[in-house]
């Protein structure tokens, strides 16, 4: 499935609404469905988004270790993502994820209360 297809765009936007509402597990479910059908160029960044959503879900449940592991993996995948095909503003997202990971790595730091939101832009 191409990232430019209407079904892909609709599911991506639905996941975005869920993510930005703090429904991270549900966003992961929506994005995982399109990840299964995605073209190889989209699979890597979709997996990074899915791992971000599940990492934030772990944060909501005060699971520091699970969040740390998933956010590390998300950063690695999103850092290698094909940037022209990525439908979100990637540099601020990576900055936010790295900042949150630093907090998570310091066991005495309180868990972040506010998590970043994603803004979608049109694919090129």
Q: Are 121 and 88 in contact (CB under 8 A)?
A: yes
- Mean pLDDT value across residues 98-120: 90
Q: Which of 4-8, 42-46, 86-90, 108-112 has the lowest mean pLDDT?
A: 86-90
Q: Is 17 a domain residue? A: yes
49, 61 Cβ separation under 8 angstroms = no
Within a domain: 85: yes
Average pLDDT over residues 58-75: 96
- Residue 27 within any structural domain of the chain: yes
Evaluate if residue 55 carries a pLDDT over 60: yes
What mean pLDDT is predicted for residues 65-86?
89
Query: What predicted TM-score, i.e. pTM, was given to this entire model?
Result: 0.92
Question: What CATH number does residue 16 fall under?
Answer: 1.10.3450.10
* Mean pLDDT, all residues of the chain: 90
- Phi, psi at residue 72, to the nearest 5°? -60, -50
Judged on CB neighbours under 10 Å (0-12, 13-18, 19+), 78 is buried
Q: Higher model confidence: residue 93 or residue 41?
A: 93
Q: How many distinct structural domains can be found in the chain? A: 1
Residue 123 lies in a domain: no
């Amino acid at each position: 499935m191409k990232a430019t297809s209407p079904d892909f765009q609709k599911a991506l936007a639905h996941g975005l609404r869920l993510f930005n509402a703090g429904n991270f597990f549900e966003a992961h479910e929506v994005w995982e469905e399109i990840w299964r059908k995605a073209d190889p160029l989209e699979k890597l960044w979709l997996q990074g988004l899915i791992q971000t959503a599940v990492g934030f879900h772990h944060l909501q449940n005060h699971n520091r270790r699970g969040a740390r592991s998933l956010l590390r993996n998300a950063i690695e995948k999103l850092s290698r993502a094909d940037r022209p095909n990525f439908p979100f503003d990637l540099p601020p997202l990576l900055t936010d994820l790295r900042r949150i990971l630093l907090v998570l790595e310091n066991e005495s730091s309180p868990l972040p209360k506010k998590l970043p939101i994603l803004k979608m832009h049109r694919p090129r």
